[in-house]
Structure 1
């Protein structure tokens, strides 16, 4: 049901986050209700079904975060947004490698491949963003953000299996208005925003907005003597509205965002013992490198990640350019509305990474720059009458991504990766370079529709269907060259123009060529029944049969145990999704209080998981199918508007997301690194290193059935409250206010095959703000992570099964002030 909530219009209110139930009435609101605040609660008006209706009437779990609340709480991008929405999980190691999940499902957690689809759709003003990385921009002139939970797609747009994040920006106005905002804080934080809107003629209006954010990094690199993981963001958006009549309008939009930080580095977190020989574990390898280089005495600057020290020796960069143009046409035709949305978007990604996560020169260079173009066209027609409403439409999508990658071995690579005489000679691997060229072509088309039949004044039945076609074709070529620039082969007979690579070289990088291609038709449907028990109570039940289309592995294929390429892993099957949900939306205490409750169960066959093989010779993450996954849980949203002076909210979620069956998953580090055997009687205990007399034996794959999905906290809560007092200050009438908001997430695991070494502890964050606001202005100070809680945002397993675990620590306490003006 994605289309219903792409356009949401809200009224004034002081709440921080507004669940869907924070609507005034179940009946259609009058015009003055839409615009005027009321002590009984906020009026949240949904117009996505081409008529005004309160959000309480919509049978779907949805949370709405208003633009003012985003600014007040400092949650200025999707990554930060999870602090306000408990069922949203966003994890990132850099903009490209960002996972956005709802209820534990969506994008495969871990390093990203271009060959899969998102399970969580990200939309900006009706335009679908195909890659999560292309939506990591700062929120710019945003009206509100909606987080929709559960499968979406039978109304219009791209199909998504877990939910959607819909971002609605402020639109051009025929009344002149403007706003400006400036924030400064510690860590050299500076953020400036401005927007202006008004008429160019009686039928044309325009709006332009710009924003800039900079901040010093939070991790100090002792090698480069610089703070890294900084923020350096710039964004601009322009819109032109042509409205010759009330029945017809055209909106032209263009936007451009640029991010150019020195990012994204990691720090040492811990070492865990694997099943590798004891001399091939992290600490032993560091000792061997120091012994081979007298006087070097390498050691990490700190083994406490909260000292915020790193010693990465490779260049770091996370250059990200995002932009595009769109044209939206709306035409009221008789009892319905015809809408066309045409869009082109681009994404340019220029990274540099330190893939070995250390100050040693193991991998001296690692980068995979990409360029994406996407085109989308959507037509839909919405009809409404007293008893029957429906939406029918067409969606077309075309995408191409080109990537040029380079990875190179450094002076310490031989000692790190090899044994015997080869390990003692740095030239064995130094300068060995893997250069890859790849592209992905993806085409998608869909026919969709949903009917809403009002059987009685209380009972409504809503069936929906979708017919979808997807085609993906890719190409991947890796050329491996030695230090002299000669291309090598790893086959018995070298290919023309190449020389035979050594066993050591081929054990690290192997030339590869693959060209996976596949297509699939899918027919899906959903069925919703909702019943208005009373004026202020709505109950609903939903069943959805959904899918995520096929995927292809675009970043190189894993190797078999004999170091040959596993071409069977080039494609992954589509996901098959069965979703069940029950919900209750209520209001009471003269509608001053709102309480929503939903219970869900989602079962997925052939779940597309990102797995980690621990190899240098491939990208660490690649796609594989888990036989079955299940996510189930309960969500609750509560808000109370006690008076014009005080409001509060509390939202919570319990999510139980597990691999129900995944029998051939890569093993976690504690069960990896030993001699591979298929004999269960020889398998060594977890974390038992091999010795000269007692080697350790590892499983070829692991059965992780019954274990939790990565990135999912079982318990998540968010809360907030605000109290204000009317005062006159400096001859200005206004309100002095104090606000608090916070969130808690229980522990979770950050490895696709859950590991005892990648368990992330739960944490709670608390933020305060206090200020003075009146008509046209707002001045306030803020403290975020007020109690300076130490917490980890993500953990990564270093390649090679050495036991090294690196991570990214969360922001420390930050503080500052903000001034806002509007007219």
Structure 2
């Protein structure tokens, strides 16, 4: 068993994502003692590359799966400390984070789960030491020493673990060893970055080894909050991980891991997007509006240019105290102007235990992986990202709080039959997740005045930001007896007192909203059985068949606490007049909407809802692979993937309280509005691999069709979670002819089909052209797009108008072309035993849109990122001095651009910026 573990750990280079100048690369029958052999000698001897992507220790050219494996050396050279840095070494992968450190989003081949809603699980599953992390954001923390990372592309599930519809990321931490040793490292960089790492490994007898690792990292923030004189997006985090390895015999091995990490950081600020940021913001013959509207048009709204004063909402912000510098500075100027006293303070705790047991039963081997994890995050915010106090979360235990408790158990039994012709694997998986979500989102002290002025602007009424209800005395007199309103509708005169009263009530909303009590509690239970079998038809031809049955049950229990009494008062006063004056209905409805935004109403105070959904899925894979030579492989595969449905855990997803909740049967009657359906995919792939003595080449072509694609978007007022499907015969709405209508069409259920497709090719090359020199190159072309005609459910319901730009366009954060490359040179320095290090990696990304609704102001031009590291290392790597830089050329780009909350319908956008250039020095020592 010890030999098996050693071979599993000692992974080498693979698929253009790997350069391992100091790692051992072992064949299955290699003596583990050869792990100390110099890599050059290994390659000269022609040892094949070994991977574990199929739950088995296999040579690279035996694995008919598209996979990147990134070694510990590559991770160290690239400066990877969490999964976001994997972008630089895996071209088909993109990991980003947005408004909260808990909101990481991973995409493979352009497919991923977007947004900040914890009710959606990730299309790309993340595992650390075989234990599932229930959301991608749970892995956005220091990882400590890593042995390797495997990135599997395409649907997964028949090999074990949790289902995933787009792929998975397997992270394997450095395990205990039966040799005494230790290490330490100190890093100092710009922004006052300090990182301290250390660890010790020790055998505790002949059968037990222990390992303890720790990391502490602190750094100033990239944003300067000018108003509150604080730095935002800082780092203050640490990790402690302890492990025990128990090997009482060659037949059994057990590894126990326990870890605790904490972050106490201010996250995540955003800046205003300027008109020159997005290419489609510049009207020209090259970039005409696709559907005939001006590029910043929004359904039902005007078409001003972002932060220009011609945008009618900008003078309102300025009148309420917004510093004009925030609206005129460059998009990538990291000075921010927040509400005085507001904070982005957040705290994250993540801890758990995992136990992996491997038992050789003679004719078969049994693997058991047990995991228990707890994760909690709170995040305060100045939620409107302006200096005006419109919307906020105060620091505390209820500040956008999310807490996960997850128990997982996986069992796999693997063996051979028919004289080794059949390599079989069967298993079962169980997961129980308890999710609690609490929030204290409240309207700020200036919300009422801002909302009143906003409606005045839309209604063409002169507004005065210094006056109650935004109406000056002169305006009130004018409205009382002036024919201005009569020209709109004769009935307006009689309704003038009603309208003025609505302005005044709206103005009273100040520090009201979620009172911090109640919240969503979701319970999820997942059970699956699976099998993955490799049939050796001939010595060169294999057939792989896998099948998985999954049952998923989710239930929610939610209660609400809210002190916004203005909402029901506005409903009571205005509802009787709705329909009396069609020209005024939008204005009257606007008063109610802005008074009750996010379903913030005291009518919900003390109410509760509960609901349950249950689903089953049968998924699987079939692969036919052929080895023309012992070191090459070609294959063709089909996979059916699945991701569970669930609940939109956002109160605003309940139907708008117009009419009131009571008239709709109470909140419980609307519980089903929160549901969204499971996501499925049919994936087809052909590929080939060649493993030469000094080079490795892989290539894969793929086509994936997603049905009920789960899309989460924020439209500036609330979150929308919708299933996206295509339609072969759309009725009553726009289609590929780019109809300028703002309505969307419906579809007969029989005509509904996949709504998202991903088609492309991946090529990766790893070269060793000379001794001590490694080079890698990878390129992914993926056309990941929506179908021309879309509907919002598998029953054919119309797509929400907020998503009207989706049909026929590429998905957000899905560039068509992405390329990565790296070079590593580690020559000896004379006869001193010293070695040099020169390392460079780069990622080139084509144009893409960063917003899930694809509005034009969210376009991102293509860019190139370059990271580098140079240094000198002592004999046998006992010490090292390294100088490094990330984003060497200080490339400006955004992770996500979004509709500025409560400002977006007048087309102001904000953006979460990516990190600027960082650089520093690292000193390492070990024994």
- The answer to whether the superposition gives a TM-score over 0.5 is yes
1:809 CA drift (Å): 2.1
1:771-782 pair list within 5 angstroms: 771-773=871-873, 774-775=875-876, 776-782=878-884
- Asked if 1:798 is matched to 2:875, the reply is no
- Asked if 1:417 is matched to 2:451, the reply is yes
In structure 1, C-alpha distance between the alignment counterparts of 2:370 and 2:116, rounded to whole Å:
31
Aligned to 2:10: 10
Q: 2:763 aligns with which of 636, 646, 652?
A: 636
Q: 1:382 aligns with which of 411, 414, 426?
A: 414
Aligned to 1:532: 627
- Asked if 1:593 is matched to 2:673, the reply is no
1:321-336 pair list within 5 angstroms: 321-336=349-364
Aligned to 1:372: 404
Contact 2:273 2:306 in 1 (8 A): no
- Asked if 1:767 is matched to 2:792, the reply is no
In structure 2, C-alpha distance between the alignment counterparts of 1:44 and 1:750, rounded to whole Å:
37
Q: 2:97 aligns with which of 92, 95, 109?
A: 92
In structure 2, C-alpha distance between the alignment counterparts of 1:815 and 1:56, rounded to whole Å:
39
Contact 1:5 1:48 in 2 (8 A): no
- Asked if 1:605 is matched to 2:707, the reply is yes
For residues 467-513 of structure 1, what are the alpha-carbon distances to aligned partners after superposition, in whole Å with 9 as ceiling and x for unaligned?
Answer: 11000111333333148xx995887699xxxxxx9845225644455
Q: Which has the higher helix share?
A: 2
In structure 1, C-alpha distance between the alignment counterparts of 2:127 and 2:14, rounded to whole Å:
25
In structure 2, C-alpha distance between the alignment counterparts of 1:553 and 1:51, rounded to whole Å:
38
Contact 1:19 1:63 in 2 (8 A): no
**Structure 1 SS opposite 2:75:** helix
Aligned to 2:316: 288
- Asked if 1:356 is matched to 2:384, the reply is yes
For residues 101-145 of structure 1, what are the alpha-carbon distances to aligned partners after superposition, in whole Å with 9 as ceiling and x for unaligned?
Answer: 1112232x1222x32332211111111111122211112121111
1:103-182 pair list within 5 angstroms: 103-107=109-113, 109-112=114-117, 114-182=118-186
In structure 1, C-alpha distance between the alignment counterparts of 2:80 and 2:699, rounded to whole Å:
25
CA pair 11-369 structure 1, distance change in 2 beyond 3 A: closer
CA pair 664-479 structure 1, distance change in 2 beyond 3 A: farther
CA pair 779-47 structure 1, distance change in 2 beyond 3 A: same
**Structure 2 SS opposite 1:160:** coil
- Asked if 1:400 is matched to 2:502, the reply is no
In structure 2, C-alpha distance between the alignment counterparts of 1:45 and 1:281, rounded to whole Å:
53
For residues 66-88 of structure 1, what are the alpha-carbon distances to aligned partners after superposition, in whole Å with 9 as ceiling and x for unaligned?
Answer: 12221221121111211211111
CA pair 380-427 structure 1, distance change in 2 beyond 3 A: same
Number of positions where the alignment pairs a residue of Structure 1 with one of Structure 2: 770
- Asked if 1:516 is matched to 2:611, the reply is yes
CA pair 277-596 structure 1, distance change in 2 beyond 3 A: closer
CA pair 575-622 structure 1, distance change in 2 beyond 3 A: closer
1:517 CA drift (Å): 1.7
For residues 243-289 of structure 1, what are the alpha-carbon distances to aligned partners after superposition, in whole Å with 9 as ceiling and x for unaligned?
Answer: 21111122221001111111111112236564535899864334235
For residues 396-438 of structure 1, what are the alpha-carbon distances to aligned partners after superposition, in whole Å with 9 as ceiling and x for unaligned?
Answer: 1000111210111123212332335634568521122124511
Aligned to 1:475: 557
1:562 CA drift (Å): 7.5
State the TM-score, normalized to the length of structure 1: 0.87
Contact 2:28 2:50 in 1 (8 A): no
Q: 1:80 aligns with which of 81, 85, 88?
A: 85
CA pair 273-733 structure 1, distance change in 2 beyond 3 A: same
Q: 1:622 aligns with which of 712, 721, 724?
A: 721
In structure 2, C-alpha distance between the alignment counterparts of 1:61 and 1:251, rounded to whole Å:
28
Contact 1:716 1:746 in 2 (8 A): yes
Q: 1:505 aligns with which of 568, 572, 595?
A: 595
Aligned to 2:282: none
Contact 2:783 2:816 in 1 (8 A): yes
- Asked if 1:309 is matched to 2:315, the reply is no
**Structure 2 SS opposite 1:270:** coil
Contact 2:16 2:777 in 1 (8 A): no
In structure 2, C-alpha distance between the alignment counterparts of 1:52 and 1:300, rounded to whole Å:
56
Contact 2:15 2:765 in 1 (8 A): no
1:749-760 pair list within 5 angstroms: 749-760=849-860
Q: Which has the higher strand share?
A: 1
CA pair 31-643 structure 1, distance change in 2 beyond 3 A: farther
In structure 1, C-alpha distance between the alignment counterparts of 2:91 and 2:242, rounded to whole Å:
32
1:318 CA drift (Å): 2.9
**Structure 2 SS opposite 1:260:** strand
**Structure 1 SS opposite 2:9:** strand
In structure 1, C-alpha distance between the alignment counterparts of 2:573 and 2:424, rounded to whole Å:
64
In structure 2, C-alpha distance between the alignment counterparts of 1:600 and 1:5, rounded to whole Å:
33
Aligned to 1:347: 375
In structure 1, C-alpha distance between the alignment counterparts of 2:557 and 2:569, rounded to whole Å:
19
Q: Which is higher, the Rg of structure 1 or of structure 2?
A: 2
**Structure 2 SS opposite 1:223:** coil
**Structure 1 SS opposite 2:120:** coil
For residues 781-808 of structure 1, what are the alpha-carbon distances to aligned partners after superposition, in whole Å with 9 as ceiling and x for unaligned?
Answer: 1122222222222212113312111112
Q: 1:717 aligns with which of 808, 819, 824?
A: 819
- Asked if 1:458 is matched to 2:540, the reply is yes
**Structure 2 SS opposite 1:515:** strand
Aligned to 1:688: none
Aligned to 2:847: 747
Aligned to 1:276: 301
In structure 2, C-alpha distance between the alignment counterparts of 1:13 and 1:460, rounded to whole Å:
24
1:515 CA drift (Å): 2.7
Contact 2:27 2:50 in 1 (8 A): no
1:8 CA drift (Å): 4.2
Q: 1:196 aligns with which of 200, 207, 217?
A: 200
CA pair 490-520 structure 1, distance change in 2 beyond 3 A: farther
In structure 1, C-alpha distance between the alignment counterparts of 2:671 and 2:6, rounded to whole Å:
41
Contact 2:16 2:765 in 1 (8 A): no
CA pair 42-820 structure 1, distance change in 2 beyond 3 A: farther
Measured on the aligned residues, the alpha-carbon RMSD in Å equals 3.2
In structure 2, C-alpha distance between the alignment counterparts of 1:491 and 1:256, rounded to whole Å:
49
Aligned to 2:508: 428
State the TM-score, normalized to the length of structure 2: 0.78
Contact 1:16 1:66 in 2 (8 A): no
In structure 1, C-alpha distance between the alignment counterparts of 2:186 and 2:47, rounded to whole Å:
28
Contact 2:391 2:442 in 1 (8 A): yes
**Structure 2 SS opposite 1:446:** strand
In structure 1, C-alpha distance between the alignment counterparts of 2:164 and 2:561, rounded to whole Å:
36
CA pair 505-326 structure 1, distance change in 2 beyond 3 A: same
In structure 1, C-alpha distance between the alignment counterparts of 2:921 and 2:380, rounded to whole Å:
34
Contact 1:269 1:303 in 2 (8 A): no
For residues 570-626 of structure 1, what are the alpha-carbon distances to aligned partners after superposition, in whole Å with 9 as ceiling and x for unaligned?
Answer: 2111122101011100134xx2011110011110111111133332xx4x3534444
**Structure 1 SS opposite 2:61:** helix
CA pair 811-278 structure 1, distance change in 2 beyond 3 A: closer
**Structure 2 SS opposite 1:516:** strand
- Give the gaps of 5 or more residues in structure 1: 495-500, 667-677, 679-697
